[in-house]
Amino acid sequence: MDRKAILGRVSDVDIRLLRIFHTIVRCGGIAAAEFELNIGRSTISRHLSDLEIRLGLKLCTRGPAGFALTAEGQRVINASSRLLSAINTFQADVNETHRQIKGTLAIALFDKTITNPQARVSQTFTLFEEIAPQVQLELYMEPTHVIESGVLNGNFEIGFIPTHRKSSSLAYYPIYEEQMNLYCGAGHPLFSRSDADMSSREIRKHKYAGLGFHSPNMIVSKKRNLLRSADVYDQEALATLILSGCYIGFLPDHYVEPFVRTGLMRALLPETYHYQSLFAAILRQTPKPNRLQELFLDCVQRAHGDQVGVLK
């Protein structure tokens, strides 16, 4: 690898290679990217080598030990994310000039919100399809911190997250709320106990499972001094641990309702152990939203219109 190589003019070939590199990273390796790219592994590997030669950098390690970005590869991913986002913005702006609503819109959602009647994201897509049927959507399901960083670095144009700590680099548009309660599974020692026969002190003795990234879940569990014994990174994993009968944890009431109805879970001291999560659509503060982002945000606010006015 020639470390002295200097990148000159960025060509269409470079941009294509960078898009392939992004797909490889997003999929977690060459083998996993084969299906999405619809080209063979040897061709993908050759494209990756061509990009490394073009940049004069080793971007990743790949082999029996698995795929991993180098520090240089991470910097290239971050820089190219901004480049590709700028290209998408440019394409959207040019299409707007031609009165054509075309382009690609990458949107990231927090998990397990589809059963929340206040979360009208599906209706948002219905409205957007009516006004922009030629736009290609990219939809991702990610943890809060991944959505925040993805919006900031341009990987996602818009994200939907439970708000907890606000960044001055992001714009927040509150849209709906979610009720969270503390639950245990049918096999848990507290399951058959009445609320009157239970105390906060006793609850704090039992193993607690919570989201392992900064979120309202983490904030509340620390405030309540719950005994964190397991970290999870999505709410289905959390529900799995609660159903084991070994852990307690906070889950959305709309998601847990079938488990409660069938006697597999119950809320613990719901008058005490509960909190509300305020969800918001987020965009970068700068640059100014392009036409596609503005149109989609308008659909978000139209779909949640009767709720937006009462949220803070």
65 and 155, same domain (yes or no): no
The reply to whether 240 falls in a domain is: yes
The reply to whether 39 falls in a domain is: yes
Say if residue 291's pLDDT is above 90.
no
Number of structural domains in the chain? 3
How confident is the model at residue 6, as a pLDDT? 57
Tokens of 115: 């059963």
109 and 257, same domain (yes or no): no
Half-sphere exposure of 310 (CA within 13 A, CB side): 6
CA pair distance 275, 183, nearest whole angstrom: 13
Q: Tell which of 61, 79, 97 closes a domain.
A: 79
CA pair distance 274, 223, nearest whole angstrom: 12
The reply to whether 88 falls in a domain is: yes
The reply to whether 222 falls in a domain is: yes
The pTM of the full predicted model, rounded to 2 decimals, is: 0.69
CATH of the domain at 25: 1.10.10.10
CATH of the domain at 283: 3.40.190.10
How confident is the model at residue 201, as a pLDDT? 94
pLDDT tens digits, one per residue of 147-168: 999 999 989 999 999 998 889 9
Among 5-9, 68-72, 169-173, 227-231, the minimum mean pLDDT is found in 5-9
CA-nearest of 132, 138, 130 to 96 is: 132
pLDDT tens digits, one per residue of 128-152: 999 889 899 999 999 888 999 999 9
Confidence band, pLDDT 50/70/90 cuts, at residue 102: confident
Residue 255: which domain range?
177-277
The reply to whether 1 falls in a domain is: no
269 and 182, same domain (yes or no): yes
168 and 295, same domain (yes or no): yes
How confident is the model at residue 179, as a pLDDT? 95
What single-letter DSSP state applies at residue 288? P
pLDDT tens digits, one per residue of 232-241: 998 999 999 9
205 and 217, same domain (yes or no): yes
The reply to whether 25 falls in a domain is: yes
226 and 142, same domain (yes or no): no
234 and 250, same domain (yes or no): yes
The whole-chain average pLDDT of the chain stands at 89
CA pair distance 179, 113, nearest whole angstrom: 11
111 and 68, same domain (yes or no): no
232 and 212, same domain (yes or no): yes
Say if residue 280's pLDDT is above 90.
yes
105 and 155, same domain (yes or no): yes
How confident is the model at residue 308, as a pLDDT? 58
pLDDT tens digits, one per residue of 85-100: 888 888 877 776 656 7
Tokens of 4: 């002295």
Opening angle at CA 91, ends 87 and 96, nearest 5: 145
The reply to whether 2 falls in a domain is: no
229 and 109, same domain (yes or no): no
The reply to whether 5 falls in a domain is: no
162 and 186, same domain (yes or no): no
